[in-house]
Structures are given as structure tokens and as C-alpha cells.
Amino acid sequence: MSQTYRRKIRFRGNTGNLEELYVPVPSKHMQVKYISQWSDEFRSTSNDVYIKLEDSNGFSNEGLYLYVDEAAGIKNLHIEVDADIEAARPKTDDCEPPSGAEFLLTMLATTRRADAMIGDLNERFTCEYKEFGRARAVRLYWARTLRSLPPLVWRAIGKLVVAVVKRFFGLSSA
Amino acid sequence: MELTTLEQHLLLAIRGLHPNAYGVSIQEHIKDRTGREPSTGSVYASLDRLEEKGFVKSRQGEATAERGGKRKLYFTITAPGQRTLRESLAAIDALSQGLRWKGAAV
């Protein structure tokens, strides 16, 4: 399953004496499978020098490598590339997030919020799985989950205290 | 109504990301700009508080495979939220006006 996104990739920065520019994909949740279309010349804002691409076919999984010719001395380069990026959905085999966090979070938040939190953790896990491998992704997943617990516990306790006070002192919002 | 620093960050992030402000995008937005990433739990606990005060509204979004079929929760800032944020930032501005920082160029 894959879906095609249309994104304008922008690069802005000091080129120095760079001969190779790296333009990252706008979202790290995407994986470039092909780039079908781009502009072949770039304009620098400082002196209107046009830079031609030497090799327009270089791209990696995470971004687009542009090999620029005669880039020395050009500062504050602005680049815009129109590209059709096919963002692949992650593989589903062997990249299931660890179970257990769901139970903890469901205990501490409403269903809607717990679902959103678990979804967020899963989304991060999927990215990190692709970037770092399963072992590190699992460690990060649990670190993130455990770090999330204290604020949720405090919030749950706070709500409980407010509910108890309202009940015993007859305070009601109605 | 006073806002904590995290609440200020959250409201600014929601404003900046509109209409795509959900947990992960908010965390990344804050991390990119402040260098510190709030935990998922603290983000949702604070958003829960802000929603209770009427400063933000949430709506459920799409569920994707990479999220394990769980739906996103998108947040938008309300008019009272914007007003409170503006007042809170104005208070910081007023407090910092006229300060001279040690070592700063005059």
C-alpha cells in the first residue's frame, strides 16, 4: 500500500564551499520511493546565480541529494524543488509496537485521549523502527510511555480530588 | 487566567500548526523550537486542562496503519484561548521590557 504526496521541498541555508547539498524529505514519516519531477535550476537570492544540477538522479530513502556545480562562494541559497514523493506505508510484519502500554494509558485517561496517546506512541515507534531497528525502537517506546505516566497520574489525582470536594461540599457546576 | 510555560508552548504550537495540530506534530514543533520535547503524557494532561478551561477544542481525525488503527486527536485554539495567550505573552513582554542583559551589545 502506498500513497503519493505532492510536496514542495525547500532548502535554505549557507552553502559555503559545498559541492553536495542534501535536502531532507519534509516529514520523517515519509520514505521516498521515487521523485518524478523537479526543476533543474535554482536561483540564489544574493546574486541571482543559477546553479545547474550535475546529477539529477541522486536520492536516498530519506531525502534528495543534489550535486551542485560551481556552488563555491554562493551564500543564502534558496532552493525549491517540486517533487512527487511516493510515501510508502511501513511494513506491518515484525514492526508491531510492544503491548502493555495500552493498558497503562487506558487506566489514566479517557478512551478518546488514551487512543490518541497510544496512536502517537505507535506512530513514533513505526518511524523509529525504520530508522533504528526494533531493539532501540522498543526501548524508546517504553521510555516515552514511562515518562508519560507521572503527569497523567497527577492529572487523574487532581480530577479525583476536585470530584470528591465537589461531592462532599455540595459544589456543583449545574 | 495564568498559563504555565508548557501551556503557552502548546497554545503557540496549536496556533502555528493549524489545522494539523495533533500529539506528535505538537511535540515535534515544540522540540524543534525550544530544544526540549515534552512527554506525550504531559502534552495530553495539559491539553485536557486547557480543554476544560475552554481554551482549546479537539476533534477526532483519521486512523492510519502506522498508528495501529488509533485515531488522531486534532486540536484548535478557541477565541478565549487566543485572548488568554495574547495576554500571557504581553505580560512576559512587559516584564522583560527595559532589561539589559549582561554581556549583550548596547
User: A170 at the B interface (CB within 8 A)?
Assistant: no
Mean pLDDT within B67-71: 87
- The reply to whether residue B39 touches residue A147, judged by beta carbons under 8 angstroms, is yes
Q: Count of alpha carbons within 13 Å of A9, Cβ hemisphere only?
A: 27
d(CA A113, CA B45): 9
**Strand A20-24 vs strand A32-35: parallel, antiparallel, or unpaired?**
unpaired
Contact call for B67 and A123, based on CB within 8 A: yes
- Total-model pTM: 0.63
Q: d(Cα A60, Cα A67) in Å, to the nearest integer?
A: 13
Range of weakest confidence among A30-44, A90-104, A143-157, B7-21: A30-44
Chain-chain contact of B41 with A149 (C-beta, under 8 angstroms): yes
Report CB contact under 8 Å: A154, B60.
no
Tell whether A1 lies on the interface with B, counting CB pairs under 8 A.
yes
Of A89, A147, A149, the CB nearest to B66: A89
How does residue A28 score in pLDDT terms, banded at 50, 70 and 90? very low
Residue A56's CB: how many other CB atoms inside 10 A? Answer: 14
- B42–A1 CB contact, under 8 Å: no
* Closest by Cα among A102, A148, A112 to B45: A148
* β-sheet bridge partners, residue A79: A11
Which residues neighbour B41 within 8 Å (Cβ) at sequence distance 6 or greater? A108, A117, A147, A148, A149, A150, A151, A152
Interface probe for B, chosen from A129, A140, A148, A160 (most Cβ of B below 10 Å), is A148
Q: In chain A, what percentage of residues exceed pLDDT 70?
A: 43
Give yes or no for A155 touching B (CB within 8 A): yes
One-letter amino acid of B25: S
**Maximum Cα–Cα distance across chain A:** 77
Size of chain B in residues: 106
Q: Looking at the complex, report in whole angstroms how far the Cα of residue B104 sits from the nearest Cα belonging to chain A.
A: 25
What value does the mean pLDDT take over residues A12-16? Answer: 41
ipTM of the complex: 0.89
Helix, strand or coil, per DSSP, at residue A154: helix
Instruction: Round to whole Å and give the CA distance between A110 and A61.
Output: 38
| Partners of residue A29 in chain B, C-beta under 8 Å | 66
Residues of A in contact with B46 (CB under 8 A): 151
Nearest C-alpha in B relative to A159: B49
Cell 488522531, residue located = B72
Cα A168-A170-A174 angle, rounded to 5 deg: 135
Query: What is the share, in percent, of chain B residues with pLDDT greater than 70?
Result: 96
Q: In the block, which residue shows the cell 504555565?
A: B4
Residue A151 has its nearest CB partner, among B23, B41, B70, at B41
User: Are the beta carbons of A14 and A102 closer than 8 angstroms?
Assistant: no
* Dist CA A105 CA A88 (whole Å): 29
pLDDT digits (tens, 9 = 90+) for A68-79: 444 444 444 444
Q: How far apart are CA A148 and CA A142, in angstroms?
A: 10
Question: Which residues lie closer than 8 Å to B78 by C-beta, 6 or more apart?
Answer: B54, B55, B56, B57
Residue whose grid cell is 514511562: A146
Question: Per residue in A32-84, pLDDT tens?
Answer: 443 333 444 444 333 333 333 333 344 443 444 444 444 444 444 444 444 44
Residues B10-55: tens digit of each pLDDT: 999 999 999 999 999 999 999 999 999 999 999 999 999 999 999 9
Contact between residue A108 and residue B54 where contact means Cβ atoms under 8 Å apart: no
| Residue to test with chain A: of B46, B70, B75, most A Cβ within 10 A | B70
